Amino acid sequence: MLIFHGGNHTNSERSAEEMQANMGKWMAWIDKLNAAGKYAGGEPLLPGGKLVSGKDKKVTDGPYTEGKEIVGGYFIINANNLDEATTIAKDCPDFENGGSVQVRQVMKM
């Protein structure tokens, strides 16, 4: 699983052309992964949400974190091992916008 953090997700600071160009990069990356049989799925996440925590299951608005920690979306990919998944993650278009990618192995149940 690739979990996308940070990056410049403040669309109000981007022109329509910049947003379109960035989306084009993401779609090209997805097409590349699909062609290689590596893309299994994924979605961007809307901002905001709710956080449920503690024994009393307290519900608060959020999660609110610093911009670099915001989870903007995820991909499920097909990789032979963690090293291959890490190599795939290096093609993420958000690096040029200050983003980062967490690479995690999904445990089979």
Q: What is the model's pLDDT at position 108?
A: 87
Query: pLDDT tens for residues 8-51?
Result: 655 567 789 988 999 999 999 999 999 999 999 999 998 888 88
pTM of the entire structure? Answer: 0.84
Q: Which of 25, 39, 15, 46 is nearest to 96 (CA)?
A: 25
The pair of structure tokens assigned to 62 is 């959020």
Across the chain, the runs of DSSP E, i.e. the strands, are 2-6, 39-44, 50-53, 58-61, 71-77, 99-103
7 or 61: which leads in pLDDT: 61
List domains and CATH numbers for the chain: 2-103 (3.30.70.1060)
